[in-house]
Structure 1
């Protein structure tokens, strides 16, 4: 008997001067825009995963400040359901020249309007929804997440 499980992912919402940090990445659907995001690795907390993914995909060290939201999204093909934890993050520093994760083309700063103007390039509808929730001021303290281990 197989047990169904969602894919647990994290996403970093990093805003600076009205622009958000995104990555352009190769996907099976072509080049797409996404927040710095990825899967939770065994043994790490959601907050640790978020900081790691931001560094690996953008060369930016970030502080994870608050939870913006939790999102459940089944891909239209029905093969995978993602459970995304999106976090409000702030830049601590950048590692100039750091190699980015495989498949990442580059990090790019976009305004919400620039992002909204190209929905065909979003990795998923969660990309814009997370920005909208962030702009609406949706924040939850990190203490709502309990990590034992």
Structure 2
């Protein structure tokens, strides 16, 4: 069997104690996730995080740091994902912009509002990334070398 880990990015965006999430349809169920997605050919990790956030939420963001790098194997399908999670601040909203297929909204929640709905998390990484963002440290963007 050939093992092919998937390289993904995610972005934790906070504004005054509230976090931007993606509400998406996955396997017939509405779930919450950070704006996240796969790295595309000829794209840097930073570019991927900015692009995925815009495509999934309609928000432009400015990356501010790195929350962490995670290795996660999805129990549903056995696929392994390497997730580079960035922190960012929202800079401009484009409410007229159509969101990616399968995305039904981009709600803002407090940490506790998210924590109260574990059945709606796409994976355990959703709350973990928020908690590790809050606990710190947030690492310099310089740790990501293009």
Distance (whole Å) between structure 2 residues aligned to residue 96 and residue 81 of structure 1: 33
The answer on whether the counterparts of 1:68 and 1:86 sit within 8 Å (CA) in structure 2 is yes
Q: CA deviation at 1:29?
A: 5.2
Q: Please give the residue correspondences for 1:1-149 in structure 2 after superposition, counting only pairs within 5 Å.
A: 3-28=2-27, 30-147=29-146
Q: Give the aligned CA root-mean-square deviation in angstroms.
A: 1.1
State TM-score, norm by structure 2. Answer: 0.96
Gap runs ≥5 in structure 1: none
| SS of alignment partner, residue 96 of structure 2 | coil
C-alpha distance after superposition, 1:39-74 (max 9, x if no partner): 111110000000000000000000111010011110
Runs of at least 4 residues off by over 4 Å:
none
Q: Which whole-Å CA distance do the structure 2 matches of 1:44 and 1:65 have between them?
A: 19
CA contact (8 A) 1:69 1:138 kept: no
More deviation, 108-117/132-141? 132-141
After TM superposition, the structure 1 stretch with the greater mean CA deviation from structure 2, 70-79 or 14-23, is: 70-79
Distance in 2 (CA, whole Å) between partners of 1:108 and 1:47 is 23
Which secondary structure state, in structure 2, belongs to the residue aligned with residue 146 of structure 1? coil
Gaps of 5+ in 2: none
TM-score with structure 1 setting the length = 0.94
